[in-house]
Structure 1
Amino acid sequence: MTILSEQSVREFKHHLINGSNALGIKVSDHQSEQMLVHSKELMVWNKKINLTAIKKPLQIAEKHFIDSIAAASFLGNEQSVIDLGSGGGFPGIPIKIMNPSVNVVLIDSSRKKINFLKHIIRMLDLDTIDAIHSRVEDLHENNVYKNKFDAVISRAFTDLSKFVKLAAPFLNKKGAIYAMKGKNADQEITPEILEQYNLTTDHYRLPFEKSNRYVIKLSAKS
């Protein structure tokens, strides 16, 4: 595990808790400790496999954890969430930390990344969460996953049109797609998407970096 100084640990937790508070989200000491463990392991494993281009602890706190927590706050009462292209576990693992009762599935096509995610799940002793090594398309006809989820979420996995096509087979009848996006998010919304889905866009600003972030929610028109 990466050895962070006591000061670095305090700064990470302070950044995480205060940044989340600025967005109206309360992170407990226990939750911040879980995210600290995830962050430390992310930095260790990132030296061996490409998990993230973000390497500084305070940037990890904001750009990975606060960003994931903020996006998750727009979820409704969904009890099952699938995270496509989870990578280093974002947003899926922070969603699980903040909502322990939610069933979460993390999907990634990289076996090394899945090994990392399974390691984090074990370290944090999380239950009702699984990490699956697969291409997203290969699970579309798998009855374990097909039409089973209340929410499909992803962060910068692909463009919106492709994400919608990849996500739709996982939704149950009342399910919704959540796409986490940066600037120019509205430029990805096509007439075809608007024809098929009810769409809402929520906005938040990362508290320290001040960059704008968007969550596009899509639910099928009845």
Structure 2
Amino acid sequence: MKIKELLAAGTKELGLELTSKQIDAFMNYLDILQEWNQKMNLTAIDDSEEIVIKHFLDSLSSVSVMDLAGDEKMIDLGTGAGFPGIPLKIFYPKLDLTLLDSTKKKITFLKNLVRELNLKGIEFIHGRAEDYGQKSKYRGSYDVVIARAVAPLNILSEYAIPFLKPTGSFLAQKGAKVKEEVIEATRAIEVLGAEIYDVVSIDLPYSDAKRNLVIIDKVRETPLEYPRKAGTPNKEPISN
């Protein structure tokens, strides 16, 4: 199966449909990612089919269970090479998207990628989530926080929940061990002013990998002491 056909067929399996313009954007994304990946380590996955399945389709899989209007203010924490934020932006062009990563070279790549793909309405942050979650411009400002493969859920929740508006949702893409992570994160989520709304299992097309989307709704303000200073959530997670 050709790469374009793989992407189109995979998105249909997820209950989604891409326009020809969106498919072209993904193909350009693929080319740019592979070109830059030769110069710097952006992703361990470099095969075209694997990128389509494990990055593009995996990023889009969350859309099939997310109730989005498509114009939300969203921040992608630890975005790396742009996953899942950029695929979601391609699918929802009106998203007001912020991409945050602590590695400068990845932000440099993302700025070039966004320019090449002619995407608008994207802000880039080179920094730590713990620092920006305490800044008044960003704290309590987002409808949606999304993250993939960043940290265990009890740690990740402290990074993410402070960014949310009181009615916002945190969407964490997780693998097969989601039940254990949810149990370990229960108290942290409650302390941070949120509650688990649902855990949805997703079948990733053309893959045996187990994917789960944890949907966490913010229900009250996060206490001002969270997030704690950079490095602390990882060293001393909020425990049960």
Q: Identify whether the pair has TM-score above 0.5, normalized to the shorter chain.
A: yes
Aligned AA for 2:161?
A
Aligned AA for 1:122?
R
TM-score w.r.t. length of structure 1: 0.91
TM-score w.r.t. length of structure 2: 0.85
Q: CA deviation at 1:80?
A: 0.8
Distance 1:154 1:192 in 2: 20
Trace 1:54-93 onto structure 2 (pairs within 5 A). 54-77=45-68, 79-93=72-86
Are the equivalent residues in 2 in contact too, given 1:178–1:218 (CA < 8 A)? yes
3-state SS of paired residue (1:183): coil
Identify the match of residue 212 of structure 2 among 202, 211, 214.
214
Aligned AA for 2:52?
A
* Aligned twin of 1:104: 97
- 1:39-92 CA-to-partner distances (Å, cap 9, x unmatched) read 111111111111111110011001000111111333323611100000000000
What 5-or-longer segments of structure 2 have no aligned partner? 221-240
- Which deviates further from its counterpart, 100-109 or 188-197? 188-197
Distance 1:29 1:209 in 2: 24
Trace 1:7-156 onto structure 2 (pairs within 5 A). 11-77=2-68, 79-156=72-149
Aligned AA for 1:17?
A
Aligned AA for 1:16?
L
3-state SS of paired residue (1:189): helix
Percentage of matched positions with identical amino acids = 35
Q: CA deviation at 1:193?
A: 4.6
Distance 2:22 2:206 in 1: 20
Runs of 4+ in 1 over 3 A off after TM superposition: 193-196
- Which deviates further from its counterpart, 10-19 or 189-198? 189-198
Q: How many aligned positions are there? A: 213
- 1:100-144 CA-to-partner distances (Å, cap 9, x unmatched) read 111000000111000000011101111111221111111122222
Question: For the aligned residues, what is the CA RMSD?
Answer: 1.5
Distance 2:203 2:110 in 1: 27
Are the equivalent residues in 1 in contact too, given 2:74–2:143 (CA < 8 A)? yes
Distance 1:22 1:155 in 2: 21
Are the equivalent residues in 2 in contact too, given 1:198–1:221 (CA < 8 A)? no
Are the equivalent residues in 1 in contact too, given 2:166–2:219 (CA < 8 A)? no
Q: CA deviation at 1:194?
A: 6.4
* Aligned twin of 1:6: none
What 5-or-longer segments of structure 1 have no aligned partner? 1-9
